[in-house]
């Protein structure tokens, strides 16, 4: 059946290389070469005709629900919400996932600097990060939070299996390389957009 992919170079090129047998640990060294980029696009060529491209996070669960695709990449929180809150028969597969980190920053010279530091201390604490999993299946950034992840806000759904950061879900995961994409995003996006048109 058709599959859904986000309409961007980032993630698709990495996943294409992993699908072509490149180990997660080697993806960026391969993708940094012309041959590696060609290899990623060659792998995407294999599914291009059967791909539905999405641009907004709400689209993948809808594409699945409407039967337009048999599988899709997606933000895991959207699939979790559709599965648990809406009862859709979807299943997340984390094998080969690409994950990113978010961060906090305090602008230099910000007012209330001490309060900002207190907030960051609280917001990044082990328990606070575990508690956020009560509302959405985005994994806590601290390993120490994992064992403390409890139930979804419905009071019955164990959240640990839905966490992309659970040990079982990280076995073949790739951490997105911010520096790589800072250096290569323009050229790879240009090639990706040209590839889409052919």
pTM of the model: 0.90
What confidence tens digit (pLDDT) does each residue in 62-84 have?
A: 999 999 999 999 999 999 999 99
Q: In the chain, helix, strand, coil percent, each to 5?
A: 50, 10, 40
pLDDT at residue 102 is higher than 90? no
Question: Could you tell me the pLDDT band of residue 35, with boundaries at 50, 70 and 90?
Answer: very high
For 4, the token pair is: 């859904």
What pLDDT was estimated at residue 95? Answer: 94
The predicted structure's pLDDT at residue 25: 95
Structural contact between residues 16 and 43, judged by C-beta atoms closer than 8 angstroms: yes
Q: What is the pLDDT of residues 110-153, one digit of tens each?
A: 999 999 999 999 999 999 999 999 999 999 989 999 999 999 99
For residue 182, what are its two tokens?
């800072």
- Which neighbouring-strand residues pair with 155? none
In the block, tokens 């001490």 appear at 114
Q: What is the pLDDT of residue 90?
A: 97
Q: How crowded is residue 6: how many other Cβ atoms within 10 Å of its Cβ?
A: 19
Structure tokens at 75: 């933000």
Predicted local confidence at residue 161, as pLDDT? 94
Instruction: Kindly report the CATH number that applies to the domain delimited by 1-97+172-198.
Output: 3.40.190.10
Our measurement of the distance from residue 58's CA atom to the centroid of its chain's CA atoms, rounded to an integer in Å, reads: 14
Q: Two tokens at 89?
A: 């028969």
With vertex at residue 145, the alpha carbon angle to CA 164 and CA 115, rounded to the nearest 5 degrees, is 115
pLDDT tens digit sequence for 146-186: 999 999 999 999 999 999 999 999 999 999 999 999 999 99
88-118 b/e (C-beta count within 10 Å ≥ 16 → b): eebeeebebbbbeeeeeeeeeeeeeeeeeee
3-state secondary structure of 5: strand
Q: What is the average pLDDT across 25-53?
A: 98
Asked if residues 123 and 104 have their Cβ atoms less than 8 Å apart, the reply is yes
Q: What is the mean pLDDT of residues 23-51?
A: 98
Domain boundaries, the chain: 1-97+172-198, 102-169
pLDDT at residue 101, as a whole number: 85
At residue 103 the predicted structure's pLDDT band, cuts being 50, 70 and 90, is: confident
What's the pLDDT score for residue 6? 97
């Amino acid at each position: 059946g058709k599959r859904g992919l986000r309409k961007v170079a980032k993630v698709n090129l990495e996943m294409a290389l992993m699908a072509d047998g490149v180990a997660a640990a080697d993806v960026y060294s391969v993708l940094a070469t012309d041959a590696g980029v060609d290899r990623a696009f060659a792998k995407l060529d294999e599914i291009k005709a059967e791909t539905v491209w999405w641009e907004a996070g709400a689209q993948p669960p809808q594409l699945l629900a409407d039967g337009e695709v048999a599988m899709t990449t997606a933000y895991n929180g959207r699939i979790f919400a559709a599965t648990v809150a809406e009862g859709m028969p979807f299943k997340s597969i984390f094998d080969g996932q690409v994950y990113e980190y978010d961060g906090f920053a305090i602008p230099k010279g910000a007012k209330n600097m001490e309060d900002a530091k207190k907030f960051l201390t609280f917001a990044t604490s082990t328990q606070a990060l575990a508690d956020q999993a009560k509302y959405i299946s985005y994994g806590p950034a601290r390993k120490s939070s994992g064992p403390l992840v409890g139930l979804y806000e419905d009071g019955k759904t164990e959240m640990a299996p839905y966490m992309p950061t659970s040990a079982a879900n990280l076995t073949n995961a790739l951490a997105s390389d911010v520096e790589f994409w800072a250096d290569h995003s323009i050229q790879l996006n240009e090639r990706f957009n040209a590839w889409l048109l052919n």
